[in-house]
Structure 1
Amino acid sequence: MKSTSLSLIAGTVALAAVTGFAALTAPGDGGTTEAKAATRLPVERSSLLCPAPGLSDLAETTYTSFTPAGGSGGEAGTAELRQSTSTTADDATDKGGNKDKKDKAKADPGKPVVSLKEPGKPATADESGADTPALVGTATGRLAPGWTTQQTTTVEAGGARGLLGVSCTGPDTNFWFPAASTAKSREDYVHLTNPDDTAAVADIELYGPDGTLKSDVGEGITVPARSSVPVLISTLTSKVAEDVTVHVTTRTGRVGAVIRAADEEAGSDWLAASADPTGTLVLPGIPADATSVRLVAFAPGDDDADLTVKLLGKTGAISPAGHEDLHVKSRMTAGVDLKDITRGEAGSLLLTPTRGEKDTPVVAALRVVRGKGDAQEVAYIPATGPVGAQATAADNRAKGSTLSLTAPGATATVKVTASAGSGGGEQTVKTYTVKGGTTLAVTPPVPSGLKGGYALTVQTQSGGPVHAARMLALPQDGIQMFTVQTLPDDDGTVEVPAVEQDLSVLDD
């Protein structure tokens, strides 16, 4: 028998042993091949990247890391986040190629910033100041399925003032960010973090209301191994635009990408990537007391998009007066001010193709403001996928959380688990029914005897898809500081296909 045949047999037997699905039969023995249906198994490895939070010397950052209990019965594993090597903003536009420039901060790879020990109980860590670098992390074994980390930063004063929250992201090669800006009142940075041991090369494209904002500076940005690079968007183009869509792709490698958006009047927060382009979008979690809501959408394909805009509230759907429809031209960013659309009732935005129109893929995000005048505070809500099997918001406090659950189609039931606290307490579980076409905004359950922070895990039990978001509000000196994180499926499981044995391919 040829050596290649032996290798194929070994590989087939190993795959059968791993999956447990294949029934082996030799060719010509008259046996039959049996293969079970594909199944979903817990992932065995997860990666997360947290952007550099350092905005000012007044920045106080909390990391909350969590893996839901019951996701896997596998080996113990680890879940740790360590410092990356962060470069300065000036180095970023130099494409990482100037070896003479010094890094802003060097990592200490020997000590994790935050380390999770067990599922079902969050671990926290605190950092202060402007020099805190980005974090790069990996979880393995039973800590990998559903591993989630939130980075929450409070800046009480200055141009970066605000409560900035972001769910640390997994690495990828393609990101869309509507609702960025190059306006003079804004200072928006794209943070690129490379988790790997080799350099990544990224491109940043900008699209305004009239199409592409041309720039050569955004091409070929080198992100060194296990490093983070912030890029000031306004340095990539000479054009000033209130609404800009940012597209991040990689030529080589992969990165985590997120935008830190700062406004002179309304403070700052993180803008996470929109869900992948699709014809129907849900943007959940608009707070009841929002004083301004701006919708920004972009159609990346060759066709224009015509969308119907609806607010899903407590009792059903309403169409915002004067903004029932939105026309989005191909490769042009469309922005519309929906003002105080919620009028005292929390809700979620639903974008669907206008009746009779083509189902054209789009991306979208909301810029949401609470308060007025000097007491304004801003947050961003990107379009997001459904909760699916499970999703988690890692950082919650004894007070200040609001959970929004939206069922754009059929009525659904979800289970919400409040984990044990990072410093003590017992988990609490509550079930909610969300009527079709509505948004249910609730104060989520709090663990009994809570000490420290805790996590909220949402699981779909029955009915149609549910989209969710969690608002964390931490008022400071009369300012209603807040941040909103969406809760898409955590991809804690992966579908393993059935294996069908056919040894006839080994015949000479």
Structure 2
Amino acid sequence: MNRTTLSLLAGTAALAAVTGFAALDPPAAAPAHAAQAAAQLPVERTTLLCPAPSLSDIADTSYTSFTPVTQGTTSDGKAELQAATEQSADGTSGKKKKASKPVLTPKAPGTPATGDTSGADGPAYVGTAEGRYAPGWTVQATTEVAAGTGRGLQGVTCTPADTDFWFPGASTAAGRTDYVHLTNPDDSAAVVDVELYGKDGRLKSSVGEGITVPPHAGEPVLLSTLSEDKQTDLTVHVNVRSGRVGASVQALDDKTGGDWLAAAADPSGSLVLPGIPKDATDVRLIAFTDGDTDADLKVRLASPDGLITPAGNETLHVKAGMTTATDLGDVTRGEAGSLVLTPTDQSVPVVAALRVTRGKSGKQETAYIPATAPVGTRATSADNSGKGTTLSLTAPTGTAKVKVTASAGSEGGTAVSKTFTIKSGTTQDVEAPVPSGLKGTYALTVEPLSGGPVYGSRTLSATEDGIPGFTIQTLPDDRGTVAVPEADQDVSVLQR
């Protein structure tokens, strides 16, 4: 999503900063300028941003940190999840306020660590992991709200900072209270534009332009204050003019609960939205395309038996610059499913998300599934329990073999692995392994071994008073490794 253009020199420096490694040894017997395959090396530093968890006085939030064991890491390192502490913005002192106690202290790779907060005063957090703690470091915030707007289960995976985010699925309709949370990890202020796109195009607003996010601070922005236009389906675009931020949308409903809406995958002509719960009672698809060209999409459901076309929802027409939404009803019909969107003809980049509802009228809960990138090398999911976890995997274009590992528990237990085969065009709610002798929570890592690309999501469920509370997090690559190209000395450049 980061559109910043770097020079070759700056790009090389940034790579060295991430990996802490750059090979500049003279070539041995290899021919001059021979192409070398890039090596996949563990990252040496990871920064994650967690939004302030809730504005409810009766909210209880748990944080879970996990680093999977990664070969090739250093033997040292550290990690911490610290409250974002606002710095002086007048440029005179630059001193941080007194640091508060970390909400959790990560344990050694392979074992989760937990912490918690309660009430409406929980801050945004900035987490940093270095050395052996950095590769694949994942932090999950899970909040339970017993009553009121957004009641139910809310979950968010803390994310790296970036400069460009798309959130299809937000709303300013009556009964909805949606915030976009902006978290700045840096020493200088960030300047952000928040744009809203509805069914007729961009909503008029000057309030969303040039929002200042102070250094080391979180800033929740209520969407209804940015425009007087009340619309059921909106796409939020967060564009950072200067600096960088973490961004997430908290979508809260007076009657049907709420959840966090994570940023959708980069605009693409083909999208996968994995892991619709099999007992979903209503699924709503929201899509948006930026630019001047309409998009026409083929809509298919990857079921346990293969790709099928939902009756009455075979295609979706998305007008340029406008948010389009359609109800798919109980599209899964009691089976696991993932939505697969592909162009009917011309490929036009699109962003999309699903709003998923479980339960019956009066006892409903909602969660969101944004389009996501494939698992890639490895994906990590923290804060799993022995009974309330569902792992959903889909292989839309080719059969894939996948290894799933359950870590040790946060308070005890032994790691266990299983291997699964996901047939082409299908979605499977796999029977994920559980650590033997589990105490506390555990993490899941998903590693494709062979075959086509795999997409995944994890659902946490906790029913209270007959209300099926749940939250869904997608499983893109955990960025545990980075490709580092071989670099050789070329003294001939000194003679040119």
TM-score by length of 2: 0.92
Q: Please, which of 14, 17, 22 is the counterpart of residue 19 of structure 1?
A: 22
What letter corresponds to residue 129 of structure 2 in structure 1?
A
Counterpart mapping for 1:315-330 below 5 A: 315-330=305-320
Note if contact 2:24-2:489 (Cα within 8 Å) is conserved in structure 1. Answer: no
Of 75-84 and 268-277, more deviation after overlay is shown by: 75-84
Counterpart mapping for 1:129-148 below 5 A: 129-148=119-138
Q: Which residue of 2 aligns with 1:183?
A: 173
How far residue 55 of structure 1 moved from its aligned partner, in angstroms, is 2.5
Note if contact 1:81-1:136 (Cα within 8 Å) is conserved in structure 2. Answer: yes
Percentage of pairs with the same residue: 61
Q: Which residue of 1 aligns with 2:53?
A: 53
Q: Which residue of 2 aligns with 1:475?
A: 463
Change (3 A) 1:232 1:405: same
Q: Please, which of 359, 374, 387 is the counterpart of residue 375 of structure 2?
A: 387
Counterpart mapping for 1:256-405 below 5 A: 256-354=246-344, 357-405=345-393
Q: Please, which of 198, 214, 226 is the counterpart of residue 224 of structure 1?
A: 214
CA deviation string 1:452-479 (max 9, x = no partner): 0000000010000000000000111111
Distance in 2 between residues matched to 1:110 and 1:340, nearest whole Å? 46
What letter corresponds to residue 70 of structure 1 in structure 2?
T
How far residue 108 of structure 1 moved from its aligned partner, in angstroms, is 5.0
Distance in 1 between residues matched to 2:100 and 2:204, nearest whole Å? 42
1:428 aligned onto 2:416: yes
SS in 1 for 2:392: strand
Look at both structures and tell me which one has the larger radius of gyration over its CA atoms. Answer: 1
1:77 aligned onto 2:77: yes
What letter corresponds to residue 263 of structure 1 in structure 2?
D
Q: Which residue of 2 aligns with 1:90?
A: none
Distance in 1 between residues matched to 2:436 and 2:394, nearest whole Å? 27
CA deviation string 1:66-121 (max 9, x = no partner): 0101244214211111001489xxxxxxxx999xxxxxxx9752522112131000
How far residue 346 of structure 1 moved from its aligned partner, in angstroms, is 1.3
1:443 aligned onto 2:440: no
How far residue 415 of structure 1 moved from its aligned partner, in angstroms, is 0.4
1:158 aligned onto 2:148: yes
How far residue 130 of structure 1 moved from its aligned partner, in angstroms, is 0.7
Distance in 2 between residues matched to 1:448 and 1:273, nearest whole Å? 35
Q: Which residue of 1 aligns with 2:472?
A: 484
SS in 2 for 1:78: strand
Distance in 2 between residues matched to 1:338 and 1:86, nearest whole Å? 44
SS in 2 for 1:484: strand
SS in 1 for 2:321: coil
Change (3 A) 1:403 1:86: farther
Change (3 A) 1:426 1:415: same
Distance in 1 between residues matched to 2:295 and 2:97, nearest whole Å? 46
SS in 1 for 2:229: coil
Distance in 1 between residues matched to 2:443 and 2:429, nearest whole Å? 17
What letter corresponds to residue 58 of structure 1 in structure 2?
I
Note if contact 1:22-1:36 (Cα within 8 Å) is conserved in structure 2. Answer: no
Q: Which residue of 2 aligns with 1:5?
A: none
What letter corresponds to residue 36 of structure 1 in structure 2?
Q
Distance in 1 between residues matched to 2:156 and 2:463, nearest whole Å? 18
Counterpart mapping for 1:230-241 below 5 A: 230-241=220-231
What letter corresponds to residue 341 of structure 2 in structure 1?
L
How far residue 443 of structure 1 moved from its aligned partner, in angstroms, is 3.2
Distance in 2 between residues matched to 1:212 and 1:97, nearest whole Å? 32
Q: Can you give the 5+ residue segments of structure 1 that lack an aligned partner in the other structure?
A: 1-10, 88-95, 99-105
Q: Which residue of 2 aligns with 1:43?
A: 43
1:246 aligned onto 2:249: no
Distance in 1 between residues matched to 2:270 and 2:459, nearest whole Å? 23
Q: Which residue of 1 aligns with 2:7?
A: none
Change (3 A) 1:469 1:32: closer
Change (3 A) 1:361 1:32: closer
How far residue 211 of structure 1 moved from its aligned partner, in angstroms, is 0.4
Distance in 2 between residues matched to 1:198 and 1:63, nearest whole Å? 27
Distance in 1 between residues matched to 2:219 and 2:27, nearest whole Å? 51
How far residue 24 of structure 1 moved from its aligned partner, in angstroms, is 5.2
Q: Which residue of 1 aligns with 2:400?
A: 412
How far residue 500 of structure 1 moved from its aligned partner, in angstroms, is 2.9
How far residue 507 of structure 1 moved from its aligned partner, in angstroms, is 3.8
1:126 aligned onto 2:116: yes
Q: Which residue of 1 aligns with 2:8?
A: none
What letter corresponds to residue 314 of structure 2 in structure 1?
E
SS in 1 for 2:197: strand
What letter corresponds to residue 122 of structure 1 in structure 2?
P
How far residue 253 of structure 1 moved from its aligned partner, in angstroms, is 0.4
What letter corresponds to residue 276 of structure 1 in structure 2?
D
What letter corresponds to residue 480 of structure 1 in structure 2?
P
The count of corresponding residues between Structure 1 and Structure 2 is: 475
1:208 aligned onto 2:211: no
CA deviation string 1:44-67 (max 9, x = no partner): 110100110122111010000001
Distance in 2 between residues matched to 1:236 and 1:361, nearest whole Å? 26
CA deviation string 1:378-423 (max 9, x = no partner): 0000000100110011010121111100000010010000000000
Distance in 1 between residues matched to 2:237 and 2:158, nearest whole Å? 19
Q: Can you give the 5+ residue segments of structure 2 that lack an aligned partner in the other structure?
A: 1-12, 91-95
Note if contact 1:21-1:36 (Cα within 8 Å) is conserved in structure 2. Answer: no
SS in 2 for 1:166: strand
Change (3 A) 1:466 1:177: same
Q: Which residue of 2 aligns with 1:149?
A: 139
TM-score by length of 1: 0.90
Distance in 1 between residues matched to 2:35 and 2:319, nearest whole Å? 48
Note if contact 2:85-2:99 (Cα within 8 Å) is conserved in structure 1. Answer: no
How far residue 31 of structure 1 moved from its aligned partner, in angstroms, is 9.0
Q: Which runs of 4+ in 1 moved over 3 A?
A: 17-22, 30-36
CA deviation string 1:314-350 (max 9, x = no partner): 0011111111000001110000000111111110000
Distance in 1 between residues matched to 2:264 and 2:393, nearest whole Å? 18
Q: Which residue of 2 aligns with 1:7?
A: none
